[in-house]
Structure 1
Amino acid sequence: MANASAPLAGRARTAFLRACRLDVETRKPGNVSVASAGHNMTSAQFIASAGTAASGLFTPGARVGARILDAVRRTFDAVGCNTNLGIVLLAAPLCAALERFGADESIDASRWHASTVRVLADLDIDDARLAYRAIALANPGGLGDAPEQPVHAPPTVTLRAAMMLAADRDSIARQYENGFADIFGAGLDAAGTTTPATEHRAMLDAFLAFLATWPDSHIVRKQGAAVAQSVTRDAAWHRANWRAAGRAAQSPELDAWDAGLKARGINPGTSADLAVATLFVALMTSPMNA
């Protein structure tokens, strides 16, 4: 596998770190942000996690599973808790896919998407073993035991095959099944063309789009399907009102909803992870980053 060119790798790392910072700079309902800590975590932990995880994710030539495990280990060494497992699981194939581009090749969303699909097709059982170790280390809330290929037992299938078994109950696993179709489809559609003037609105819109379309997997695991479905209905209502009001970067209505979700211990973490991956792609493929 050819390594990404140095300029490309540098731009990609910058885009990833910016997407992670936007995750906490943007006040997204129920999520930890600079403006509103929550769930016993702070924005500083998320920012530190991104910086250290990037070293694992952007290791030249590394397999997807190795990137995942390295990034999760580095995160725990830095902050001592799980702040970014979902982001890492999504970013690792995207980072590996970038290494399939040559130094003089242009990168747009369509070509990156196709490269990511090829990376997913090449995943093997060693990727699964390493990713399972990372997931067990992160120990995400409400993980429980899956009926097939549980993460606390050695996998017997490839990482993509294992993710496909969980795709009906986990939106991150679904990306491994559908070739990141939600990131390159609904996510980018919501984010639109991303510039420094619009990037916070793009992050918020992508987040709300995911939350309004699918019950958040993290909420399902922690509070159950009924609560997750009610949050999805609320998200659709809030997003429609927010967009009708002009898609402002700050919204008192959304801020109040944020406080209410946190008071109930509800964290739409999977929707945030999907939004970070979307902004990584949007920033990297923006004409301003060419």
Structure 2
Amino acid sequence: MRPAEHAQLALLLEVSGTPKPGNVDRDRDLPDLRYEQFLAGAVGAGSGLRAAESDSIGIAFERAVEGMAGRHGENTQFGALLLLTPLVRAASEGELTPAGVDRVVRETTVADAAAFYRAFEHCSVFVSDPPAEWDDLDVRRGSAAIPAVEERGLTLHDVMALGEGEDDVAREWTGGFERSFRVADRIEELSGPLSDRAAAAFCEQLAERRDTLVAKKHGTDVAEWARQEIADHLGDVEMLDALATAFVERGVNPGTTADIVAAGLFIALERGVEA
């Protein structure tokens, strides 16, 4: 398989893993998102992921998001695609290493940043209010923010650096994709079907670190509650299934952790792990 196809497979395997408390999987939907929508999103993102093998990262990402949302209009894998596009490029260039992907993201341009902002016009993405001094860079403004991006000369890597303190997808971009590679290592160590390994890696990651999407939506106390609940029941599939219901009832959706697991799955697939 080419890197773009491995990226699509990673998205499919990630959403199929169960149990993943708070997230869509093959056994459960959320009130506003269904398993089938994630499958459609993975297929729809294909054109953009193929573009990531050779085109600019920003344009490839915007195309992937547009395709993801094309059938249902929902945000199913926005964060995962933001991680996968530079990973696909690094893999295509034979440099799927922390240093290789770090080079890819550091070479992004102002035009890539502009495409990133346009991607927010294709679906709804939850983000926190920016600091007052960055109000003109609010991603929710979409294309309207591009003049401010261009005036400040911000590359896509620069934009990610602005959010690294509160968003772990941005933190991957500025930190050599450290967790993504660590998840890949763990998936390779585990046994069983890849989707089950992905679910186990998800729970381990969530037990280790608070999910930043949950923290942004509900505050750090709720994010810590979710982390501790998973940590207390790690490996107990029956309890994790019960927690899935409890998380949904509280609206707790650890989506950032799932994004990082999708990235880790891609790396593992590129390294030759068998699906």
What's the TM-score bracket when you normalise by the shorter of the two chains? 0.7 to 0.9
From 89, 95, 103, the counterpart of 2:88: 95
Deviation at 1:97, TM superposition (A): 1.1
Q: CA deviation at 1:137?
A: 3.4
Pairwise CA distance, 1:90:
0.6
Contact between 1:193 and 1:286, CA under 8 Å: does it hold in 2?
Answer: no
**What do you get for the CA RMSD once the two structures are aligned?**
2.0
Quick one: percent identity of the two aligned structures? 30
Residue 120 of structure 1 aligns with an amino acid whose one-letter code is: V
Partner of 1:190: 186
Does the 8 A contact of 1:202 with 1:279 survive in 2? no
Tell whether the 8 Å contact from 1:52 to 1:71 is kept in structure 2 after alignment: yes
Residue equivalent to 2:272: 286
Equivalent residue for 1:131?
Answer: 116
> Would the aligned equivalents of 1:57 and 1:68 in 2 still touch at CA under 8 Å?
yes
1:145 CA displacement: 3.2
Q: Scaled by the length of structure 1, what TM-score is found?
A: 0.83
Q: Are the aligned partners of 2:163 and 2:170 in contact in 1 as well (CA < 8 Å)?
A: yes
* Alpha-carbon separation, structure 2, partners of 1:22 and 1:205: 12
**Given the superposition, is the C-alpha separation of residues 208 and 287 from structure 1 closer, same or farther in structure 2, using an over 3 Å criterion?**
closer
Give SS of 2:2's match.
Answer: helix
Q: CA shift at 1:179, angstroms?
A: 1.4
Shift of 1:67: 0.9
Q: Which structure 2 segments of 5+ residues have no match? A: none
**What is the rounded CA distance, in whole Å, between the counterparts of 1:135 and 1:190 in structure 2?**
32
Cα separation, 2, equivalents of 1:71 and 1:280: 16
Determine the structure 1 residue equivalent to 2:104.
119
Contact 1:53-1:74 at 8 Å conserved across structures: yes
C-alpha displacement of 1:234: 1.6
Question: How far 1:218 moved relative to its partner?
Answer: 1.4
List runs of 5+ in structure 1 lacking aligned partners.
1-9, 102-106, 246-250
- The residue number in structure 2 matching 1:34 is 26
Q: How many residues align?
A: 261
What SS class does the counterpart of residue 16 from structure 1 fall into?
A: helix
Mean CA deviation greater in 208-217 or 261-270:
208-217
- Which residue in the other structure is 2:162 paired with? 165
CA contact (8 A) 1:210 1:274 kept: no
Aligned to 2:12: 21
* Other-structure match for 1:7: none
Runs of 4 or more, structure 1, over 6 Å off, are none
Post-superposition Cα deviations, 1:157-187, rounded to whole Å, max 9, x if no partner, equal 11111111110100000011101111112x1
C-alpha distance in structure 2 between counterparts of 1:49 and 1:146, whole Å: 32
What letter is aligned with 1:216? D
**Pairwise CA distance, 1:194:** 6.4
C-alpha change, 1:146 and 1:176, in structure 2 (3 Å) is farther
The correspondence for 2:174, drawn from 177, 187, 190, is 177
Contact kept in structure 2, 1:65 and 1:126, CA below 8 Å = yes
Q: Is the 8 A contact 1:193 1:282 kept in 2?
A: no
User: 1:219 corresponds to which residue?
Assistant: 214
Q: 2:62 aligns with which of 69, 79, 82?
A: 69
What amino acid does structure 2 have at the position aligned with 1:191? Answer: I
CA contact (8 A) 1:32 1:38 kept: yes
TM-score scaled by length of structure 2: 0.88
Deviations 1:72-106 (A, max 9, x none): 111222221111101110101011112213xxxxx
